[in-house]
Amino acid sequence: MPVSLRILIAKPGLDGHDRGAKVVVRSLRDAGFEVIYTGIRQTPEMIARTAIQEGVRAVGLSLLSGAHLTLFPRVVELLRKGGMKDVLVFGGGVIPDEDIPVLKKKGIDEVFGPGTPTDMIVGYLRERLGPNAGK
């Protein structure tokens, strides 16, 4: 029996709006992933350490406050420093289009904006982590 893949969904920074993150948690759960959610107002250090302790294959960061250019790359940096060389980092929230290439250069593999169908995120994770991911 294949083992369900573990994903961390995290909310870095000070914004308290997490309905989007919860929708993603729910859709990944329903797609067969084991999802851990940090809750709001997390520091990059908390997120990275959580990802390491939980042994996740991917970390999804959600942010609506505008601090993504600072916080997302910091999480990637801490993850790599902690030895998680292969962990996939993706992001979502209110991210201006022109910031996406900047984030991608800094190790954020993909960015999903408002209105992204949840199937697309599931499909993306399966493509990146293996076709049976979460199944």
Instruction: State the residues that interact with another protein by CB under 8 A.
Output: 3-4, 25-26, 28-39, 42-43, 45-46, 49-50, 52-55, 82-84, 134-135
Q: How many CB atoms lie within 10 A of CB 120?
A: 12
Minimum distance, C-beta of residue 126 to another protein, in the bound complex (Å):
13
Instruction: Give the nearer residue to another protein in terms of CB position, either 2 or 113.
Output: 2
Closest CB 104 distance from another protein, rounded Å? 26
Give the distance, in angstroms, between the CA of residue 53 and the centroid of all CA atoms in the same chain: 16
What's the CA gap between 34 and 29, in Å, rounded? 6
- What are the helix and strand counts (H, E) for the chain? 5, 5
Nearer to another protein, 44 or 95 (CB): 44
CA gap 63, 18 in Å, rounded: 8
Among residues 10 and 111, whose Cβ is nearest to another protein? 10
